[in-house]
Homo-oligomer: A and B are copies of this chain.
Amino acid sequence: MEIIEGGICAVNTVMASGTRKGKYGVAVILNKGSTAAAVFTSNKIRAAPVVLTEKVVSDGKISAIVANSGNANCFTGQGGMENACEMAKKVAEILKINSSDVAVASTGIIGRKMPMDIINDLIGQSIEKLENSPEASKAAAKAIMTTDTFFKEISVQTELMDGTVIKIGGINKGSGMIAPNMGTMLCFIATDAKASPEELQNALKKAVDKSFNMVVVDGDESTNDTVLLMAGEGLGQIDENFQEALDFVCIELAKMMVKDGEGATKYMEITVKGAASYEDAKDAARAITSSTLVKTALFGADPNWGRIVAAVGYSGAEMDESMVDMSFKSDSGTVEIVKKGSIMAPEGSKELQKAEKIMENNEIKIIVDLNIGKYSATAYGCDLSYDYVKINSEYST
């Protein structure tokens, strides 16, 4: 597997484009007759485009995606659904495809009527610019940004087990990172490999569990989260190598999202090993990444490992205090903080000084070994800074 250029347009059949006007943006992605799989938010409040797109994808086929930023089209009543349908219809008319094959996604503020005149204009302009090029992928990725500070895309090429070389490319947006409970995540991925809708759904679910679900805390999902995967007529049937490449694509996109966390200044990767079950490992890793006290400590470069231990404690994971190992790692080195429940870096020690130095880096790895089982999981997170508060206290005004 190797990283290649092109973003979502690395896949030959994909045409993309994006246009912005003020706080609004529209991206269009055309990939006629593609097999489709999707994962949506589990929030009981679901935006109109989520409800619509779930229906569109239910037959396992889509031909295009239209996505807008600036308005979530959520909690907008019956008019919201009409607007989402209007977006699909507009795209379908111009591109001469069925509107029931157009997926719609929105991100932005909740509870405001969609400015359909602006959105329709942007759709028209975007469709005129559709093309298969690295620039087109970037334009689409930029069009769906909200509080994102950089656009996000990745593309890879890998050899399937039968020797066929296939590509996977994706773009995404998302940055509300404390528990990204409203920082909507939109992700669109395409591949030229072949799969049935069920196989594709299965592969996507697996990849999402290891990536986006390891930065998104259970239950804290936005009303609009949408991940869409489109497959082609097929150079080769998807297999383990495809899964590995898809996992990589999703993890890299998830990491970009974390690194672009609202107000984030630091990135952390938390691995919990030696857990009694995979669920335990996942829960513990996510509890650490989600703890506001761990996040503020990270911001302050404070090796406050007690908060990490406490987060494991309330995660529900099976554990024995006297078995726990913990170490911190960064470009500045590695330090063992706790070994079999004993503190290796007490106050005033050289180890604690080393830990402080490690915490000053921008990318920190924290490894917790529960030493009671064989399961492990990694979660991705960022710090909680003054700027997070600033961004989120002023968002809707």
Contact = CB atoms under 8 A, between A and B. Distances in A.
Interface of A: 42-46, 72, 74-77, 109-113, 176, 178-179, 181-182, 219-223, 287, 291-293, 296-297, 299-300, 302-307, 309-317, 319, 321-322, 338, 341-343, 346-347, 384-386, 388-390, 392-397
A172 B175 CA distance: 38
Contact of A302 (B303, B315, B322, B397): B397
19 contacts: A43-B314, A44-B313, A44-B316, A45-B312, A75-B309, A75-B321, A75-B338, A110-B307, A111-B306, A111-B309, A112-B347, A113-B346, A293-B392, A296-B392, A297-B395, A299-B393, A302-B396, A302-B397, A386-B386
A295 to B, nearest CB: 8
Contacts of A112: 346-347
A283 to B, nearest CB: 10
Across the A-B interface, the 4 shortest Cβ-Cβ residue pairs: A110-B306, A300-B393, A45-B313, A296-B392
A346 B71 CA distance: 14
A181 B389 contact: no
Contact of A397 (B287, B300, B309, B390): B300
Contact of A314 (B42, B176, B310): B42
Contact of A389 (B44, B109, B385): B385
A189 to B, nearest CB: 24
A322 B48 CA distance: 13
A266 B157 CA distance: 52
A178 B43 CA distance: 22
Given A45-B309, A111-B305, A77 B394 contact: no
